[in-house]
């Protein structure tokens, strides 16, 4: 009688909800145990994957307490300190490296045949640097660690999720799975989850629509939320543009662990058959796009917890392929994901539904506003913007101008002094060309309800002028003024050079980005003229309005 093949044994460190564990299990690997600090994630892992899921601080975990005879170690140490979404990449790298050190310490102790660690792309260069002599990871150089940044869409995940996968596995074997992988589009996933019965777009599982959990749609985005989302994506004050709404005919952008109804990271889709109607994705749509089967359940206490569970997870459809790679098995050995998952069932008990976020009715009194004027934006951070300043008792509004590079941002004050300087230096022809436009924006601001604009923006009371009304007028006048200046582009650049010299002195010629300003001299001068005309008026209107309120209250 033939001996039964010895099971390949694995542990999952920093396991979250068990994305690694599910994929490895489907690939025939026995996940002996997983380790995670966050209790709700462990509950989710245990109920879906039915193995020992320990709630433990891995930094304090004694290696002697780990199981022996382990063939594979996988895991995903926290990425927070390494992510560019954390203070623009200014996280505590030393703290983040503590978890990577701990992960490698466990690998070194257990001596598995294969190991793999997932994290954000930035970690690839950090690991390679720290593995060099004198680096904090130098003691682990013997583990054969190589780092690879992969786009999981190339491996069948319906999401352009770039991640660092580090380990001692055969990356060429992983790449050999690409030709057989076909990632569904965002539209295909959304459509599949709207059908009855629901057929999983990745795993082929069919369930009654009534069994689909966490597929409650949020309220549609309000007109203001649509406007903010569109601006954050298409005319962001710093980052380059992205489509709005998200296109349904391609894989989706990265699913994140946190996002708001108006964040740049939010995936927003158009509601079919309804004009200008938009919504965010449901939890179940996010989970499918993250590579989870429709049978997988999330045991979070609220909507935010489930968002975090999904966004932080390793896509199981990717870890399924990694399961074969870590066993050294070829593409021909791996059945389709649909076949491997055919026996998956929903765990019991079913988690309770968690209601999605509701649209905000009121906002903090110091709610910030900062948006680029679309007609005066040149991308890569070169822009004119309208913003409020909430640092004092009276909220003020003003335009600002920024240019240069991401590492060397410069500005020119849009002040009464700048307006006077440009007026003295401009030719009669230039003054005549721009005068009608400047008069139009002057009249608008003089008649606007600037003093109540912050109250309107925070939804505290009605007012005659919304902040976006002012932004739209600046956009309109900006376009008209640039058009009027265009025939005088040579003079426009001379005026711009002069005002830069006036404000920056001897260093003016060495400032970065001047060539871009020269190529777009009509728009730049238009913004300088409009901003230096508008800002003194905004200041005066704000303070005169508040003075009237004080007199009325006495």
CB 410 within 8 A of CB 504: yes
Q: Could you tell me the two tokens for 548?
A: 């009237």
The DSSP code for 397 is E
What is the structure's pLDDT at 554? 47
Q: What is the DSSP string of 523-554?
A: HHHHHHHHHHHHHHHHHHHHHHHHHHHHHHH-
Supply the pLDDT for residue 361.
65
Distances (CA, A) of 269 to 220, 262, 276, 281, 355: 10, 13, 10, 7, 19
Pick one of 3.40.1410.10, 3.40.50.150, 3.30.360.10, 2.40.40.20 as the CATH number of 9-185+298-340: 3.40.50.150
Instruction: Mention every residue, 6+ apart, whose C-beta is less than 8 A from residue 443.
Output: none
- Say which residue the tokens 């604009």 belong to: 453
Report, as ranges of residue numbers, the positions in the chain whose pLDDT lies below 50. Answer: 554
Q: How many CB atoms lie within 10 A of CB 394?
A: 13
pLDDT digits 0-9 by tens, 156-199: 999 999 999 999 999 999 999 999 999 999 999 999 999 999 99
Q: Would you kindly state where each structural domain of the chain is located, as residue ranges? A: 9-185+298-340, 189-287, 370-553
C-alpha to C-alpha distance for 452 and 441, rounded to whole angstroms: 19
Number of neighbours of residue 144 by Cβ within 10 angstroms? 11
Evaluate the CA torsion angle 157, 158, 160, 161 in order and state its sign. negative
Give 294's DSSP letter: T
Taking Cα atoms as reference points, which of 455, 488, 457, 477 lies closest to residue 531? 477
pLDDT in tens, 145-156: 999 999 999 999
**Is-contact 104 140, C-beta < 8 A?**
yes
What confidence score (pLDDT) does residue 549 get? 59
Cα separation, 533 vs 293, in Å, equals: 58
pLDDT at 406 (0 to 100):
76
- 299 alpha-carbon distance from chain centroid: 24
Give per-residue burial for 299-320: e unless 16+ CB within 10 Å, then b: bbeebebbbbbbbbbbbbbbbb
508 token code pair: 């003016």
pTM: 0.90
d(CA 205, CA 288): 12
Beta bridge partners of 405: 408
Give yes or no for a contact between 354 and 302, defined as CB atoms under 8 angstroms apart.
Answer: yes
Give the whole-angstrom CA distance, residue 401 versus residue 399: 7
Pair 200, 206: CB distance under 8 Å: yes
Closest CA to 433 of 496, 525, 516: 525
Q: For position 358, what pLDDT does the model report?
A: 74
Residues 206 and 199: beta-carbon distance below 8 Å: yes
């Amino acid at each position: 009688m033939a001996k039964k093949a010895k099971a390949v044994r694995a542990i999952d460190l920093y396991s979250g909800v068990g994305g690694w564990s599910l994929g490895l299990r489907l690939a025939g690997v026995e996940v002996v145990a997983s380790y995670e600090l966050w209790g709700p994630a462990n509950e989710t892992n245990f109920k879906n994957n039915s193995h020992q899921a320990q709630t433990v601080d891995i930094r304090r975990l004694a290696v002697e307490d780990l199981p022996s005879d382990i063939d594979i170690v996988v895991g995903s140490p926290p990425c927070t300190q390494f992510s560019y979404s954390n203070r623009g990449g200014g996280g505590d790298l030393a703290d983040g490296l503590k978890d990577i050190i701990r992960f490698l310490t466990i690998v070194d102790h257990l001596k598995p045949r294969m190991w793999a660690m997932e994290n954000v792309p930035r970690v690839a260069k950090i690991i390679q640097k720290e593995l060099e002599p004198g680096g904090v990871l130098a003691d682990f150089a013997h583990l054969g660690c190589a780092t690879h940044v992969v786009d999981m869409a190339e491996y069948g995940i319906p999401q352009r999720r770039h991640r660092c996968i580090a380990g001692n596995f055969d990356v060429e074997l992983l790449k050999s799975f690409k030709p057989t992988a076909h990632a569904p589009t965002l539209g295909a996933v959304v459509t599949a989850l709207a059908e009855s019965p629901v057929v999983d777009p990745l795993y082929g599982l069919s369930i009654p629509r009534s069994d689909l959990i966490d597929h409650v749609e949020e309220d549609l985005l309000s007109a203001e939320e649509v406007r903010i989302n569109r601006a954050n994506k298409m005319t962001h004050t710093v980052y380059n543009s992205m489509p709005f709404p998200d296109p349904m005919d391609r894989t989706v952008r990265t699913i994140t662990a946190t996002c708001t109804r108006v964040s740049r990271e939010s995936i927003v889709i158009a509601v079919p058959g309804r004009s200008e109607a938009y919504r965010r994705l449901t939890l179940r749509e996010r989970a499918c796009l993250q590579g989870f089967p429709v049978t997988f359940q999330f045991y979070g206490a609220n909507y935010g917890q489930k968002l975090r569970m999904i966004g932080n997870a390793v896509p199981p459809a990717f870890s399924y392929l990694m399961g074969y790679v870590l066993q050294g098995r070829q593409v021909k050995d791996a059945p389709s994901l649909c076949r491997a998952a055919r026996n998956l069932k929903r765990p019991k008990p079913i988690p309770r539904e968690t209601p999605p976020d509701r649209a905000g009715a009121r906002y903090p009194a110091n709610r910030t506003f900062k948006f680029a004027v679309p007609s005066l934006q040149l991308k890569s951070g070169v822009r004119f913007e309208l913003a409020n300043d909430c640092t004092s008792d009276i909220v003020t509004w003003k335009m600002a101008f920024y240019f240069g590079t991401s590492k060397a941002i410069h500005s020119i004050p849009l002040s009464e002094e700048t307006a006077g300087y440009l007026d003295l230096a401009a030719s009669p022809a230039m003054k005549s060309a721009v005068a009608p436009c400047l008069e139009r924006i002057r009249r608008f601001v003089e008649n606007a309800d600037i003093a109540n604009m912050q109250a309107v923006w925070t939804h505290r009371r009605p007012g005659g002028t919304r902040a976006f009304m002012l932004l739209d007028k600046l956009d309109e006048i900006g376009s008209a003024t640039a058009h009027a200046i265009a025939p005088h582009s040579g003079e426009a650049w001379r005026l711009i050079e002069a005002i830069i010299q006036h404000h920056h002195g001897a260093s003016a010629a060495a400032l970065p980005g001047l060539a871009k300003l020269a190529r777009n001299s009509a728009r730049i001068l238009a913004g300088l003229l409009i901003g230096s005309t508008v800002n003194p008026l905004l200041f005066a209107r704000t303070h005169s309005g508040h003075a009237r309120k004080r007199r009325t209250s006495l």
